[in-house]
Structure 1
Amino acid sequence: MVWQTVKGSYDDNDVQFLLQEVVNPVEKLSTIEREEKIQSGTHYSMMLPIESEPTAQYMEIYHTLLRENADKMALYTGVLAEQIWRKHQNKEWVIVSLARAGTPIGILVKRYIQFAYQADVPHYTISILRGRGIDEVALDYIAQQNPGKSIQFVDGWTGKGAISKELIQACRQYNKRTDHHISADLAVLADPGYCAAIFGTRQDLVIPSACLNSTVSGLVSRTLLNEKLMDTTGFHGAKTYEHLKHMDESQEFITAIVQFFPVQQKQVEKQLEIVLRENHELSWLGAKDVAILQQQYGISKSEFVKPGVGETTRVLLRRVPWKIVVNRQATIDLSHIYHLAQEKNIPIEYNDDMIYSCCGLIKDVTT
């Protein structure tokens, strides 16, 4: 059977989406309705959040963050890509980014390798869902199209390590079923949670692509796995948000960072030596911080604690926040966090002992 796949708004040479386009209507739930369903046991992949147009003020903040962080993004992309290249340079391999946050980072890694080594590495993006595993149909497709090639998984950042753990378990199960030997080593741009084998930095980095939803992700939604809406024998699903096409920043985001690759190349070499000297063992340090925050705030479930600037942004954009906790010693610009918190009237508290710059606490809507 042939499924209609998501195309997205990125250049075809940058990425191939191994996601099934969900053509059936998806129920549009308000943020509070969706939160109630999630906390009552409905898996988040069964539904989608409503994605509204960002305000002009928020877009101004986004563009400022992009201008101020594009050079650092280029630097850490280079550091990440160089490690990946060294790992795979003597064999054939492909980049497999984890939708949705991993997709723009996978494109940047691909572009840096093209820039630095004139090598064109295939790049796919596939779905992995917390508690439901990775898209094995997509993995089968990649194996068929790229026999004998190794896979490098790429994501945007780490929080407390839920996706890292999901990936490890999923690869173990897939390898057992198929007799493949896929490595679960995850490469991320920022690893403040200390739960990725390869990283550009362990700083809680402001990644501008975390500040928007589909409009900086190729106009592609979060991934879906709902048998009522799609053929679940195919790829995991997603929707393309054509109604937001006039606000799409996806290719502009990539261009803004790629232009700094030549400028940062020498600095990449210096920073790479520093990163290579770090301990790359998975210590799950971020999860320990989360446990402390749980205790401090009397939070019953670790799922209600979303650490790091990327996860905090997601909480403010598509969950029901209770509080935002900020580390005043953080050296990064959190203006978009303050803006969203003020816009949604969410209180901010301070904790300078976290390894993260900030943390989003989700409201328990079932009590």
Structure 2
Amino acid sequence: MTPPFTGSYSADDVEFLLTPIDMEDTPVEVKEALIQSGQRHYSEMLTRETLPSEDYLQLFHDALALNGRRMAEHLLLLAKRIDQLRKDRIALVSLARAGTPVGVLLKHVLKRHFDREAAHYSISILRDKGIDQYALRHILQRHAKESLVFVDGWTGKGVIARQLAASLDDFAVSCGIRIPADLFVLTDLSGAAAVAASFEDYLIPSCVLNSSVSGLISRSIWRQNAADSASFHGCVYYKAFEPHDLSHYFIDTMLRHVEDVYRESGIRESQTLLDKETLRAASLDFLQTVAQQYRLSHYNYIKPGIGEATRVLLRRGAGRLLLRNADSEATRHLLWLAESKSIPVEVSKDLPYLAAALIKEVK
């Protein structure tokens, strides 16, 4: 039997339902031109990662020092919600890649502080392409549909939450199995998640890095030739990065923060109370305003929140970085990335999020 693929994590942490493949490098400029012209979908190409510089790596450690305890509080709160809502078995299904470290942490927190065993799988979901249905069927051969808990790091515009709902509707039609599209996140900026520990735009430390904090896997890859076969979506495993991997370091550090928070203050409810309709309305208003102000032809080019802005500056063709406060500790890594890539930065105290990034339209 082939051993499960766990990336650089241990088998006790996660099983990636992804197929490691070789992938040619597509430079960012070429990738953006192909995406925006409609010739290729973003998930069919990959710009290969490079290891972060020492200066940028320090910004990750700074983020961990700044918000490790805050993230720990939210992990405890999210684990409590899962414990309350799943009375029998628990199967965490994290959405690769940002959801994976959160899923690993939740698995350990559930065991340590709630005495609940949880399986953990990480699977692919891609905008416009949907969730990996083969991976979903693989999970349902082992777990009841009622046990599934979909996990991600955050919501930005809510695109992936809506994609999850649409994908599970399609799955119900094709497979006759209805799975609730309940997404659990640390923070929900757009009112799109079913369960969230927070609604604030804050710096989740794992968002600062790419594969080196996510089991050394790339984002997931759509393979047209394998779409209808018994094969998972693809990914690249960055084996050469193993000496520099911080995935276990991040998990161990965060679990120490969780232990400290639990011992000192227990599990505290979030003080930020916003209804989802208010969040959705604020999200839509922001998208409409920014699209009009910067003459953007599609909301896909607008990425609200620190997490989404970081993704753009790390791996897309960014045209502009918007900040609420240029001196915020939470966005220092974004300023560093913008300056290193000569990306214009604008500061607006009226910004509803701490940061947002705009993808540069290829004319």
**TM-score normalized by the length of structure 1:** 0.92
Q: Write the deviation string for residues 293-352 of structure 1: whole angstroms up to 9, x where unpaired.
A: 111111111111111101111111111111101112996521101101110111111222
Contact kept? 1:216, 1:248, Cα under 8 Å: yes
Secondary structure of the residue aligned to 1:29 is coil
Aligned to 2:315: 318
Distance 1:232 1:345, change over 3 A: farther
1:190-339 aligned at under 5 Å gives the runs 190-227=187-224, 232-265=229-262, 267=265, 269-272=267-270, 274=271, 278-279=274-275, 283-284=279-280, 285-328=282-325, 333-339=330-336
Helix, strand or coil: the match of 1:125?
strand
Equivalent in 39, 46, 62 of residue 60 of structure 2 = 62
Distance 2:171 2:326 in 1: 42
Superposition deviation, residue 231 in structure 1: 8.2
Deviations 1:19-41 (A, max 9, x none): 1121xx31211111111111122
Paired residues of 1:186 and 1:196 also in contact (CA < 8 A): yes
Greater mean alpha carbon deviation, residues 220-229 or residues 39-48: 220-229
What is the deviation of 1:262? 2.5
Distance, in Å, in 1 between the alignment partners of 2:205 and 2:126 is 23
Q: After superposition, give the CA deviation of every residue in 1:246-287 in whole Å (9 maximum; x if it has no partner).
A: 211101111111102222126453325x46x65356852323
SS in 1 for 2:308: helix
Aligned to 1:9: 8
Could you tell me which runs of 5 or more consecutive residues in structure 2 were left unpaired when the two chains were aligned.
Answer: none
The CA RMSD measured in Å over matched residues stands at 2.1
TM-score norm. by structure 2 comes to 0.93
1:146-157 mapped onto 2 (5 Å cutoff): 146-147=143-144, 149-157=146-154
Shift of 1:355: 2.0
Query: Cα deviations across residues 74-102 of structure 1 (Å, max 9, x unaligned)?
Result: 111111111121111x2223110000000
Q: Matched residues in 2 for 1:142 and 1:296: separation?
A: 45
Number of the residue aligned with 2:35: 38
Deviation at residue 17 of structure 1 after TM alignment: 0.7
SS in 2 for 1:333: helix
Change in Cα spacing, 1:143 to 1:325, as seen in structure 2 (3 Å) is same
Distance (whole Å) between structure 2 residues aligned to residue 246 and residue 230 of structure 1: 34
Q: CA 1:50–1:83 in structure 2 vs 1: closer, same or farther (change >3 Å)?
A: same
Structure 1 contact 308–358 (Cα < 8 Å) conserved: yes
SS at match of 2:269: helix
Q: Which residue of 2 aligns with 1:169?
A: 166
> Paired residues, what number?
360
User: Residues 202-230 of structure 1, C-alpha deviation per residue, up to 9 Å, x if partnerless?
Assistant: 11120111111111110001111123589
Letter in 2 for 1:70: G
| TM superposition shift of 1:103 | 0.4
